[in-house]
Amino acid sequence: MHNLQDIERLVSSGRLDEAVGRLSLMMADVDATSDSRLLSDLYFRRGKLYWRLGRRADATSDYTKASALNPGGPAVIALEQAREVEAFFNPDLYNP
């Protein structure tokens, strides 16, 4: 199992795609154990990386999953902010 310190080192060195891959592998391991708080944290972390990579839809999807697993967690605010940014840059979502 990959640890978060290794992933943080990858992020610090700018290897974001590799960090996303490692988080995804870690999430598969955690999903099997059904630790919802940890899984929520991992979705949130991966969502932040997706956001940095410009993969807004993937980030929003991960924030949504993290929020469902932990309704009081930081992903709730990240999801609200992501939706506000999307609404600002894509007004056609509200005005077809």
Report whether 93 contacts 87 (CB < 8 A): yes
CB atoms within 10 A of CB 93: 10
For residue 70, how many other CB atoms are within 10 A of its CB? 19
Domain ranges of the chain: 4-93
> 4-93 is classed in which CATH architecture?
Alpha Horseshoe (1.25)
The pTM of the full predicted model, rounded to 2 decimals, is 0.81
Length of the chain: 96
Contacts of 33 (CB under 8 A, 6+ apart): none
CA–CA separation, 37 and 52 (whole Å): 23
7-62 pLDDT, tens digit each: 999 999 999 999 999 999 999 888 766 788 899 999 999 999 999 999 999 999 99
pLDDT tens for 3-14 read 899 999 999 999
What are 61-93's pLDDT values in tens digits?
999 999 999 999 999 999 898 888 877 776 665
Answer whether residue 94 shows pLDDT above 60.
no
